[in-house]
A and B are shown apart, each in its own frame.
Chain A
Amino acid sequence: MIKVTNLHKYFGELHVLKGINEEIHKGEVVSIIGPSGSGKSTFLRCLNLLEKPEEGQILFEGVDITAKGVDIDKHRQKMGMVFQHFNVFPHKSVLENITLAPILVKKMPKDEAEAMAMELLAKVGLESKAQEYPKRLSGGQKQRLAIVRALAMNPDVMLFDEPTSALDPEMVGEVLEVIRDLAVGGMTIVIVTHEMGFAKEISDRVLFMDGGVIAEQGSPQDIFGNPQNPRTKEFLSKVLNA
């Protein structure tokens, strides 16, 4: 579904991604782990071109989205993204947060969009908050809203950028629960996370990134149970014994 070839990204002098080759298949759940500064988030943000890579190619459903003249807005509709800091729209109600893009971009009739939004809200236990504004929501509720907002566009893949890193510990569970349901439901997921237990549980594949490259990858059993790369071993021993 997503095929990445020789991806390079620079921030000024800083060479953040140093030639990434990777293929994400339909229905796969892929976790990206690694130390901070290793390029995990940058890699994820390249997938929907929130960061523009300097070199390399990203094929999404057969289309090279890094090519000139590609209407990226059209492809982004098919790639939902969830951010560390939620980025819900504070000036719109919970319902409007969800219906905004379907109405504006997909030209969906308002009543249809609202019915769909209510259905999605019910799935994550927020239907009673539909008319509230985001400032009245807890962090966990905001993140569930952000997930539903992305789902409302009916995407083919969901990208999660450290979705629980900004949450109070007691709210991590409720958000992971929603992501787990998505994974079980067959959604293609790429998730950058520090929740090792969760990555181990839901992933089909785990990528370990270090220094701007994918240093090791494999099944969760292999990566967590029998890592080969010394950097992977070092990283896992640090985070798992913390």
Chain B
Amino acid sequence: METITTIISLLSRYGMMFVKGTGVTLYMAFLTVLFGAILGSLICLARRVNFAPLRWVAAAYVEVIRGTPMLLQITLSYLTLPELLHMDIQPLYCVILALILNSAAYVSEIIRAGIQAVDVGQAEAARSLGLSSSMTMREIILPQAIKNILPALCNEFIMIVKDSSLGSTFFVGELMTVQATIKGALYLTLEPLMIVAMIYFCLTFTLSKGVVLLERRMSRGD
């Protein structure tokens, strides 16, 4: 009972902080998925070109990113990026960059799987009509693959909403940072944690319901 009253008073006094934290979390996830999708497409493209060394580099990149912890990648970016670029980069953007580089590896796999899921007969039919391989990709494969890719991309967004919490290690202002700030100021552990848990859950639950709707709409064409 006491916990609930504490939560309510926290919300009424520090509500704006949670709203801001939610904003930063969504901002991070949005930028990550946007640029992750662009970079991921390029990686996927690199894995299909007719030049073996580029294929190897792209494949190695995906393996290394998927084979190391995200927290390590974020820490590495935080520690080395400003020095590497000789620029004063805010910690938030060091974290976002690490998230983008990480997400791109996963997105490239999402796109690859989406393309592979299109029946090979589709490409054969297109090629048998005299379409070049790039025309076939553009006109036949990609429009069908997008149906597999888009829902998976939205799931990636949900993952990033949660993974962005790792940014709190460097106090970048997203939800977990807000929680840590309030905890430190008021010596309250449980209540702020419960509040951000609820916010995370509301975000991801709504988004995943949206994905289900999207999937249903996409499959209508089949």
A101–B128 CA distance with the chains assembled, in angstroms: 10
* Minimum distance in angstroms from B206 CB to a CB of chain A: 29
B119 close to chain A: CB less than 8 A: yes
* Minimum distance in angstroms from B217 CB to a CB of chain A: 14
Q: Which residue of A lies closest to B128 (CB)?
A: A81
Interface locus among A32-40, A87-95, A114-122 = A87-95
A101–B124 CA distance with the chains assembled, in angstroms: 13
A129 close to chain B: CB less than 8 A: no
A63 close to chain B: CB less than 8 A: no
A18 close to chain B: CB less than 8 A: no
Q: Are B124 and A83 in contact (CB under 8 A)?
A: yes
Describe B's contact surface by its main secondary structure: helix
* Minimum distance in angstroms from A34 CB to a CB of chain B: 22
A81–B131 CA distance with the chains assembled, in angstroms: 13
Residue from B119, B131, B139, B221 within 8 A of A73 (CB atoms) = B131
Q: Are B129 and A76 in contact (CB under 8 A)?
A: yes
Chain B residues, CB < 8 A from A73: 127, 130-132
**8 A Cβ contacts from A74-107 to B:** 74, 76-77, 79-81, 83, 85, 87-91, 100-101, 104-105
B2 close to chain A: CB less than 8 A: no
Interface centre among B122, B126, B130 (most CB of A within 10 A): B130
A73–B136 CA distance with the chains assembled, in angstroms: 11
Residue from B121, B131, B222 within 8 A of A104 (CB atoms) = B131
Q: Are B121 and A87 in contact (CB under 8 A)?
A: yes
Chain A residues, CB < 8 A from B128: 48, 50, 76, 79-81, 150
Residue from B121, B129, B131, B143 within 8 A of A85 (CB atoms) = B121
A202 close to chain B: CB less than 8 A: no
Residues 111-152 of B, flagged 1 when their CB comes within 8 A of A and 0 if not, give 000000001011011111111100100011001100000000
Q: How many A-B pairs with Cβ below 8 Å? A: 65
A239–B119 CA distance with the chains assembled, in angstroms: 31
Interface residues on A, range: 20 to 34
Chain A residues, CB < 8 A from B127: 50, 73, 76
Q: Which residue of B lies closest to A48 (CB)?
A: B128
Q: Are A50 and B124 in contact (CB under 8 A)?
A: yes
Q: Are A77 and B130 in contact (CB under 8 A)?
A: yes
A99–B125 CA distance with the chains assembled, in angstroms: 14
Known: A79-B128, A153-B130. A135 touches B222 (CB 8 A): yes
Residue from A88, A101, A133 within 8 A of B130 (CB atoms) = A101
A144 close to chain B: CB less than 8 A: no
Residues 138-150 of A, flagged 1 when their CB comes within 8 A of B and 0 if not, give 0000000010011
* Minimum distance in angstroms from A131 CB to a CB of chain B: 15
Residue from B129, B140, B221 within 8 A of A150 (CB atoms) = B129
A100–B125 CA distance with the chains assembled, in angstroms: 12
* Minimum distance in angstroms from B27 CB to a CB of chain A: 34
A133–B222 CA distance with the chains assembled, in angstroms: 10
A89–B136 CA distance with the chains assembled, in angstroms: 11
Chain A residues, CB < 8 A from B144: 90-91
Chain B residues, CB < 8 A from A150: 128-129
Q: Are B139 and A100 in contact (CB under 8 A)?
A: yes
Chain B residues, CB < 8 A from A87: 119, 121-122, 124-125
Chain B residues, CB < 8 A from A101: 126, 129-131
Q: Are A104 and B124 in contact (CB under 8 A)?
A: no
Known: A50-B124, A83-B121, A85-B121. A91 touches B143 (CB 8 A): yes
Q: Which residue of B lies closest to A106 (CB)?
A: B130
Given contacts A80-B128, A85-B119, A89-B122, 9 further A-B contacts (CB under 8 A): A50-B128, A76-B130, A87-B119, A87-B121, A90-B144, A100-B131, A101-B126, A150-B129, A153-B129
